[in-house]
Amino acid sequence: MDLIINFTPTGMIPTREMTPHVPITPKEIIEDVHRAVDIGITMVHLHARNPKTGESTYKSEVYAEIISGIREFSEELIICVSLSGRTFNEFEKRAEPLSLQGDLKPDMGSLTLSSLNFNTVASINSPDMIKLLADEMKSRGILAELEAFDAGMINYAKYLETKGILEAPHYFNLLLGNIACSQADLLHAGIMIRDLPDNSIWSLAGIGNYQLMMNSLAIVSGCGVRVGLEDNIWYDKARTRLATNSDLINRIHRLAEANERNIMTSRKLRELLHLEPGNGSYGRRFCNA
Judged against a pLDDT cut of 90, whether residue 120 lies above it is answered with: no
In whole angstroms, give the CA distance from residue 113 to residue 274: 22
* Environment class of 87 (CB within 10 Å of its CB; exposed 0-12, middle 13-18, buried 19+): middle
Whole-angstrom CA distances from 86 to 59, 75, 90, 286 are 15, 30, 11, 32
What are the φ/ψ torsions at residue 77 (nearest 5 degrees)? Answer: -55, 130
pLDDT of residue 85: 84
Q: Which CATH number fits domain 4-272: 3.40.50.720, 3.20.20.70, 3.40.47.10, 3.40.50.2300?
A: 3.20.20.70
17-53 CB burial, b ≥16 within 10 A, e <16: eeeebbbbbbebbbebbebbbebbbbbbbbbbbeeee
**Cα 9 from Cα 76, distance rounded (Å):** 18
> Does residue 251 come out as left (phi exceeding 0), alpha (psi in the -120 to 50 range) or beta?
alpha
Least confident of 42-46, 82-86, 106-110, 216-220: 82-86
Q: Regarding predicted confidence, which is higher, 89 or 80?
A: 80
Half-sphere exposure in the Cβ direction for 145 (13 Å, CA): 27
Give the amino acid at 274. Answer: H
- For residue 141, give the nearest of 184, 175, 105, 173 by alpha carbon: 105
On the 0-12 / 13-18 / 19+ scale of CB atoms within 10 A, 250 is middle
Greatest Cα pair distance, the chain, in angstroms, is 52
Sequence spans of domains, the chain: 4-272
State pLDDT tens for residues 173-224: 999 999 999 999 999 999 999 999 999 999 999 999 999 999 999 999 988 9
Question: Helix crossing, 127-140 with 151-162: angle to 10°?
Answer: 60
- pLDDT at residue 121 in the model: 87
Q: pLDDT per residue over 122-135, tens digit each?
A: 999 999 999 999 99
- Alpha carbon distance 281, 75 (integer Å): 9
The rounded distance, in Å, linking the Cα atoms of 98 and 106 is 7
- Please report which confidence band the pLDDT of residue 86 belongs to, taking 50, 70 and 90 as the band edges: confident
Beta bridge partners of 49: 56
* In the predicted structure, residue 103 carries a pLDDT above the cut 70: yes
